Amino acid sequence: MKMKFPKKLSKELLFYWLCRLGDQYQTSFVVCDPDEPNNPLIYVNDAFLQLTGYSREEALGKNCNFLQGIETDSIAVHSIQKKLTKKSPIHTELLNYRKDGTPFWNELIIQPMSDERGMLLYNVGFQLDVTSRKQTEALFVVQQEIYLGIEKGYALNVLLQKVCDVAESFFQHDTKCSIQLLDSNDRLIVTAARSLPESYNQVVHGLKIGKNIGSCGTASFTKKPVITTDVETDPLWVDFKQEALSHGLRACWSIPILTLENKVVGTLALYFPKPNKPRDVDIEFLHRLAPLVSLAVIYADNQEEVLRLAYMDTDTGIPNRHYFFNELKQLLSENKPGFVAIVESSEFTHISDVYGRAAGDGLIKQMCQRLNRVYKSSDAVIARFASPTLIIAHLIPSAEIDCYTSRIMSIADEPFLVGDEEFFVTFKIGITTFQGNTIDGPELIRYADTAISDAKKRAGNALSFFTTDKDEMAKQELSFINHLSHALQKDEIDVHMQPKVRLHNGEIYSFEALARWFSPELGQVSPGIFIKAAENSGKIRTIDLIVLNKVLNWLQTRKKLGKRLLPVAINISSDHFFHPYFVSNLIKAMKIADIPTSYLRIEITESIGLVDFELAKNIFEQLKTAGFESSVDDFGIGFSSLSYLQQFSVSEIKIDRSFISKMENNGTHAIVRSIVQLAANLNMQSIAEGIETLEQVDTLLKIGCKNGQGFYFYRPMTFDQIDELLDNPIDRDKQ
């Protein structure tokens, strides 16, 4: 409707037009007279009456502050008053209260109306109910707080209390909210209800859900909202109304909390101090709160599972290394003495291989149970550090550490149950002590690791304390392995070959390929050092392959030049020998190089049969079928077994240099003679290693050994030197 105002408008006429305008508004519109004491309301429209619940007679003549209540922001009120004094426009949000005490959020706009002289005539106010938006904002904030709190490990009941606080803030004063969660026995557990009397909570805590079990029990059972407007007259409350009424609880609205699968999680309830019937917007708000609780419970359960997976070993239920790191940090913060120990069963891997991983895990659980009996103090932490190991941290006076470490070792005195059988196991234990928090957790664990590495070098049950010299040795070993890794990348591993000869005339009939390493940083490195390091670090197969490829390249070059070829023996490590594709890859390499298999001999140490006899036997057969000859290297110094040696398809036994160098000793002489005779009886050749004197040659010839190698004949030589030796032979009748 279009309205025309005269240029000069009296206060009375302006009021008339403002009232006409207000009558047309669908939102709350009020007019206040600043000339009257206390700036009273002189006009309110019907929308205002509907918003506040007051009648026109109750509102007119009062200052707007009669809508304010206990939770209204006093600072915001003061700001409004200050702006009114300055005749400034106002746009703010303020918590007001309806006649029934229900709070609502009011988006308030106040526009001062002045005449042409600047004299204030009226204050015109527009009010918009923004409670729904405020509820949405509050729900979003509390949702974020709950999720963040769950991730930080806060208790779920503390976080759900935030939901209760939000719910109570949108209803009349003294409204009380409770959240009860359903347990596995269909009983409601009071989880958040800080505003309710504790004595009342104790009565309803643990009630089994069902029909006529109050509002909450019935809502959970029926999966539908239950609105009790008057507890005194509602039949659902027959058994509980006296308790409720004695605490001033006269009405209860309960909403079931459901999952997406319609499974009951619990209930959310509001209690009122007098009979109360909800509006549609009230029920809508409760329905918006319930899913938040459901998601919080599910998220908390998921987070609990995540934390369990993060801090517990899933196979055994024992705390894991992440848990240990956190707990060790806490122990160290107490600045007291103690120790860190790593405990490992030597038989874990073998038990897991034979009986399965579950059996190995069972052994770890039994070890943990026994250790827990030793350490009953809250100052001790036990966790699974790796598959075969447990780790312990314990605050204890230094003088008592020896006593406790002996008790650790004592858990091996009794057998462990694996499947249906009992087994005695041996323990390796590495220990480091600490005095307060002078050393951080990761470093202490490293010290214990260094100590257990030392313990593993000894047979049987072994315990080793960390010392700085062991640490220095471990660092040197690590540095050496690092140098070796770079050497493999930079192709620093070379091959020298030592001729094998007929002892009666020195004729060369074969060679042994030997790995050699000259490091720019370390110089010439002994094979006894770097071969062992390669075995310990899992790099020995790489060295085997380097030697093989260089030998094949050399043979291939000589073949292309039409020069004489002689067989070459290469040493194959146990890891390489038992590799699933060892034989097939070897055959493939020979075909690529176009070298007959008869020109390559495989040398294996005698202990190979102790690793896996049947598999070793099968591999030797495959090598023989493919045309390779095989040799048992360093015979006599390992764990020889004639029962399996004669079953292997090998054609040569190499007598270790340690026997050859001591043949002047009658006992050693007898051993060498027995080995030579053994080889002859098994239709194998015998070859002596490390020959350095003519006397050794004569002795070997007398006992029937026909072949040998050593410095007396030739030192290991480069490929170029071997080429020169083969292409320009010299007379070696006399050495």
> Of 213-222, 281-290, 460-469, 678-687, where does the model show the most confidence?
213-222
Place of tokens 């043949």: 663
b/e burial code for range 32-52 (CB count within 10 A of at least 16 → b):
bbbeeeebbbbbbbebbbebb
For residues 396 and 376, is the Cβ–Cβ distance under 8 A?
no
Per residue in 53-110, pLDDT (tens digit) is 999 999 999 999 999 988 888 898 999 999 988 889 999 999 999 998 889 999 999 9
Per residue in 628-645, pLDDT (tens digit) is 999 888 675 544 445 556
Report d(CA 103, CA 130) in Å as an integer.
11
Q: Which of 642, 632, 688, 631 is nearest to 662 (CA)?
A: 688
Q: Give the residue ranges of DSSP H helices in 155-259.
A: 156-169, 198-204, 214-222, 241-246
pLDDT value of residue 149: 80
Per residue in 342-359, pLDDT (tens digit) is 999 888 888 888 889 898
Query: Binning pLDDT at 50, 70 and 90, where does residue 150 land?
Result: confident
DSSP state of 529: H
Per residue in 251-268, pLDDT (tens digit) is 999 999 998 889 999 999
- Enumerate helices (H) and strands (E) in the chain, giving the number of each: 27, 27
- Return the ∠ at Cα 640 (arms to 690 and 353), rounded to 5°: 125
Report d(CA 660, CA 471) in Å as an integer.
38
- Return the ∠ at Cα 286 (arms to 51 and 238), rounded to 5°: 105
Q: Check pLDDT > 60 for residue 664.
A: yes
To which H or E segment does residue 266 belong?
strand 264-272
Domains and their CATH numbers in the chain:
11-129 (3.30.450.20), 134-309 (3.30.450.40), 321-466 (3.30.70.270), 488-715 (3.20.20.450)
Q: Give the tokens for residue 244.
A: 């409720």
Per residue in 389-401, pLDDT (tens digit) is 999 998 888 888 8
pLDDT value of residue 639: 42
Report d(CA 40, CA 62) in Å as an integer.
5
pLDDT value of residue 608: 66
Per residue in 385-436, pLDDT (tens digit) is 888 899 999 888 888 888 888 888 888 888 898 888 888 889 999 998 888 7
Report d(CA 710, CA 506) in Å as an integer.
11
pLDDT value of residue 564: 93
The model scores a pTM over 0.85: no
pLDDT value of residue 684: 87
